[in-house]
Amino acid sequence: MPCRPEARPGFCLDHAGVKAWLQERDPEVLQDLWSEADRVRKSHVGDEVHLRGLIEVSSHCIRHCLYCGLRAPSIGLERYRMDPAEILACAQEATRLGYGSVVLQGGEDPGLTRDFIAVVVRAIKRDTPLAITLSLGERSDGDLRAWRKAGADRYLLRFETSDPVLYRRIHPDLPGIPSDRLAQLMRMRDMGYEIGTGVMVGIPGQTWDALAFDILRFRDFDIDMIGVGPFLPSPRTPLGGPDAGAYLAPPDDQVPNDELTTLKTLALTRLACPDANIPSTTALATLDRERGRELALLRGANVVMPNVTPLPYRARYEIYPGKACVNETATACQGCLEGRIHRLGRRIGRGPGSRNKTLCKDLTACDFHH
């Protein structure tokens, strides 16, 4: 039985179908997945690749996530917080480079107060035509409402894994405040944000079942933007340190944090969410500097997020080591990316690059929602 009456043979996106594709290793069989993901990408979001300038505004963080190099207990990391004028200058640089939006990303930093971010958002909106995405972790509804009112358009908050037990292990609650990222995403949607989420592929303890559920969740929650990258071990963290092996799932069930599995996850995400904005992530480019960005764009992605953080700060925003482009100026990255995109026969998207919903509303009567 197909998952929906008109699902294409071989592309039934129920849990068993997604899991079978995730575990497929035969390169000839996978060609079908790659070409279907590319076809769906082209028919729903076209050949434009939208560029979002990434500004890493603060490396301070109060959380203890077991995977992230910026976690509060990381010692020997020189922390920084950009000031509003520096952030505005980066946004102006992004405009000069032809980007249609910026992403203000940071750790969960109480020093980025409600007023601080509201002032920055207002200034960017006053001085540039950019769409603004915030990615500042779990914040109060009061903060989120104030920032939306100031002009923020979008918010990124990855749920990291849909497995609740794994999530609680890798993402300890703040004392007395249970973390519920999905609930925050839904509230932000009600506030009028476009919402983005995503997962890491190959987190120690992540099973094939869990990863398949992640992809179905993107679809079921009708997410606007979806970032999928490989888990990259950071030696500053428990999951990248000498005891990391203790966290792994049994060998046949542990998802590997490799390029192939990340690309399969990305391609299936495109099939599940045909009109979502899906970036080719820095983590994948870090794993495969030669071809990572391109392979993602060929297998479902339609967005790239070039870094426009000033160079002295960039190396200090060390979520994981060896981050791609860490020593490239914003202008060098822009030239490099334009070349890569044109060589693929694609175009640079102009304007804010919001999600353009092409979704058929009748999920039961259509093949991948076409």
Instruction: Determine the interface stretch with ligand FES among 83-91, 194-202, 245-253, 333-341 (rule: CB under 6 A).
Output: 333-341
Residue 251: name the closest of 291, 281, 207, 218 by CA: 207
DSSP letter assigned to residue 171: S
Q: 336 is in the binding site of which of ligand 5AD, ligand FES, none (Cβ under 5 to 8 A by kind)?
A: ligand FES
Asked whether position 51 contacts ligand FES by CB under 6 A, the answer is no
CB proximity list for 318: less than 8 A, separation 6 or greater: 59, 69, 70, 77, 234, 236
CB of 1 to ligand FES, least distance (A): 44
Select 68 or 267, whichever has its Cβ closest to ligand 5AD: 68
Residue among 336, 344, 348, 359 that touches ligand FES (CB under 6 A) = 336
Binding site for ligand 5AD (CB under 6 A): 67-68, 158, 160, 200, 229, 231-232, 234, 283, 319-320
Q: 325 is in the binding site of which of ligand FES, ligand 5AD, none (Cβ under 5 to 8 A by kind)?
A: ligand FES
Size of interface with ligand FES, in residues (CB under 6 A) = 7
Q: 333 is in the binding site of which of ligand 5AD, ligand FES, none (Cβ under 5 to 8 A by kind)?
A: ligand FES
Select 125 or 158, whichever has its Cβ closest to ligand 5AD: 158
Looking only at the bridges linking them, the beta strands covering 131-135 and 194-201 are unpaired
Q: Are 192 and 151 in contact (CB under 8 A)?
A: no
At position 246, the amino acid (one-letter code) is: A
Asked whether position 284 contacts ligand FES by CB under 6 A, the answer is no
Asked whether position 232 contacts ligand FES by CB under 6 A, the answer is no
Asked whether position 338 contacts ligand FES by CB under 6 A, the answer is no
Select 130 or 283, whichever has its Cβ closest to ligand 5AD: 283
- Among residue numbers 293 through 332, which ones bind ligand FES (CB under 6 A)? 306, 325, 328, 332
CB of 362 to ligand 5AD, least distance (A): 33
CB atoms within 10 A of CB 303: 25
Dmax (CA) of the chain: 58
CB of 97 to ligand FES, least distance (A): 12
- Listing DSSP states for 215-260 in one string gives HHHHHHTT-SEEEEEE----TTSGGGSTTGGGGPPPTTTBPP-SHH
Select 230 or 300, whichever has its Cβ closest to ligand 5AD: 230
- Listing DSSP states for 249-289 in one string gives PPTTTBPP-SHHHHHHHHHHHHHHSTTSB-EE-HHHHHH-T
> How many angstroms separate the Cα of 244 from the Cα of each of 83, 112, 144, 168?
36, 32, 35, 16
Give dist(CA 102, CA 130) in Å, integer.
7
10 Å CB burial of residue 26 (0-12, 13-18, 19+) is: exposed
93 alpha-carbon distance from chain centroid: 22
The size of the chain, in residues, is 370
CB of 156 to ligand 5AD, least distance (A): 8
Secondary structure element (H or E) that encloses residue 91, with its range: helix 84-96
Q: Which two tokens stand for residue 313?
A: 């700060």
CB of 104 to ligand FES, least distance (A): 19
* CA angle, 234 then 106 then 152, to 5°: 145
* CA angle, 90 then 93 then 95, to 5°: 115
Q: 337 is in the binding site of which of ligand FES, ligand 5AD, none (Cβ under 5 to 8 A by kind)?
A: ligand FES
Q: 317 is in the binding site of which of ligand 5AD, ligand FES, none (Cβ under 5 to 8 A by kind)?
A: none
Select 38 or 328, whichever has its Cβ closest to ligand FES: 328
Q: Are 228 and 269 in contact (CB under 8 A)?
A: yes
Residue among 13, 225, 271, 333 that touches ligand FES (CB under 6 A) = 333
Select 195 or 325, whichever has its Cβ closest to ligand FES: 325
Select 244 or 336, whichever has its Cβ closest to ligand FES: 336
Select 146 or 344, whichever has its Cβ closest to ligand FES: 344
User: What residue ranges bind ligand FES (CB under 6 A)?
Assistant: 306, 325, 328, 332-333, 336-337
